[in-house]
DNA sequence: GTACGGCCCTGTTAGC
DNA sequence: TGCTAACAGGGCCGTA
């Protein structure tokens, strides 16, 4: 499930091949999630950006293609044209270099939007997203203030994208474990908020360095898996011993997401 | 504003 | 072996 490191990996791979390319034809699956793809006929792509888990592909006419990969979305290039026989092909753009950019998505949790550049009012999660993890204005104090704005559980807050952008289920569990913070906690002091911020930066940076985490579906633009799955210390390890203290990790469903933590070193 | 439930989807896995 | 049910999960929407 693509989170910030996976989306950043895709962005970096797309950039060199996409910038300046003109769309000479486009098509999509009939679902409204994907039909915006068709609005891009004739434009040229600019330099791909990213905000949280959203890919932002600027177009030469002052708009942006906003791509959310959902859980199983994948962007890739294909020589000579799109593979229209692929049952999971959801959208495609034929480019002026005899290559097609394809968006495939097995579970259709992904979505595409075309908006005037920088106008995200109709994309609530993007519109309300907190700062990027490495934003210089994001400090222990400002992060603490953002967390304090809600009384919801920390895990829920992280998944909401409001305190910080780009964190999903995997990296939230990893960061909370690393910072020794209970996912069900509802408030933190400034110091502990600083610990959590530092842990989030660490696990996200590690994810980027490893080209993302592939549990099952995620592939980068070249069709390769990431390698960060070998580094996970909490996520998906319920029932196994905590690497720090040996106590068995437990899991529970919070906010409809499986959450794994150590009942000993993440007591509070 | 917040909390909560439900929905979208389909491949995989567990259980019978 | 073959079937069914449960599960995975990010974002969004409606309701309270």
Per the structure, the residue whose CA is closest to nucleotide B3 at C1' is: A152
In the structure, how far is the CA atom of residue A80 from the C1' atom of nucleotide C10, in angstroms?
A: 33
Q: How confident is the model at residue A166 (pLDDT cuts 50, 70, 90)?
A: very high
What's the predicted TM-score (pTM) here? 0.94
pLDDT tens per residue, range A133-159: 999 989 999 999 999 888 888 999 999
Q: Give CA–CA dist A226/A218, Å, rounded.
A: 8
**Cβ contact A168:A54 at 8 Å:** no
Residue A164 pLDDT exceeds 80: yes
Please give the nucleotide, over all strands, whose C1' is closest to the CA of residue A169.
C9
| pLDDT surpasses 90 at A232 | no
Q: Pick the residue with more confidence: A236 or A190?
A: A190
A189 CA – B11 C1', rounded, Å: 43
| Band of residue A76 on the pLDDT scale cut at 50, 70, 90 | very high
Sequential DSSP letters for A137-153: T--HHHHHHHHHT--S-
Q: In this predicted structure, what is the pLDDT of residue A75?
A: 93
SS3 A6: helix
Q: What is the pLDDT of residue A199?
A: 94
Cβ of residue A267 lies below 7 Å from strand B: no
Measured CA to C1', the nucleotide nearest A52 is C10
Does residue A65 contact residue A92 with C-beta atoms inside 8 Å? no
- The pLDDT of residue A180 is above 90: yes
Average pLDDT, chain A: 90
- Residue A94's pLDDT is 97
In the prediction, which pLDDT does A194 show? 94
Domains of chain A: 4-124 (3.20.190.10), 140-261 (1.10.8.50)
Q: What is the pLDDT of residue A150?
A: 87
pLDDT in the model for residue A95: 97
Write the pLDDT tens digit of every residue in A87-132.
899 999 999 999 999 999 988 889 999 999 999 988 889 988 999 9
CA distances, A109 to each of A90, A185, A187, A191 (Å) = 11, 29, 32, 37
* Mean pLDDT lowest among A21-35, A38-52, A219-233: A219-233
């Amino acid at each position: 499930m693509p989170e910030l490191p996976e989306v950043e990996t895709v962005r970096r791979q797309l950039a060199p091949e996409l910038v300046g390319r003109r769309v000479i034809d486009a098509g999509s699956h009939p679902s409204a999630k994907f039909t915006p793809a068709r609005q891009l006929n004739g434009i040229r792509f600019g330099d791909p950006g990213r905000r949280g888990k959203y890919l932002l592909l600027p177009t030469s006419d002052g708009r942006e293609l906003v791509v959310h990969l959902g859980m199983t979305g994948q962007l890739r290039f294909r020589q000579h044209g799109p593979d229209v026989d692929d049952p999971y092909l959801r959208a495609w753009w034929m480019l002026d270099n005899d290559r097609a950019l394809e968006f495939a998505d097995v579970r259709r949790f992904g979505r595409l939007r075309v908006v005037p550049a920088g106008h995200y009012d109709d994309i609530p999660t993007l519109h309300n997203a907190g700062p990027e993890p490495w934003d210089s204005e994001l400090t222990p104090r400002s992060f603490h203030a953002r967390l304090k704005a809600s009384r919801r559980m920390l895990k829920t807050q992280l998944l909401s994208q409001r305190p910080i952008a780009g964190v999903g289920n995997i990296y939230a569990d990893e960061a909370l474990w690393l910072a020794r913070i209970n996912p069900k906690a509802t408030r933190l002091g400034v110091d502990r908020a600083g610990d959590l911020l530092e842990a989030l930066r660490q696990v996200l940076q590690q994810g980027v360095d490893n080209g993302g985490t592939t549990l099952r579906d995620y592939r980068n633009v070249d069709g390769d898996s990431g390698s960060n799955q070998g580094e996970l210390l909490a996520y998906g390890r319920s029932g196994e011993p905590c690497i720090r203290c040996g106590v068995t990790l437990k899991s529970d469903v919070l906010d409809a997401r499986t959450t794994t933590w150590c009942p000993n070193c993440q007591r509070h």
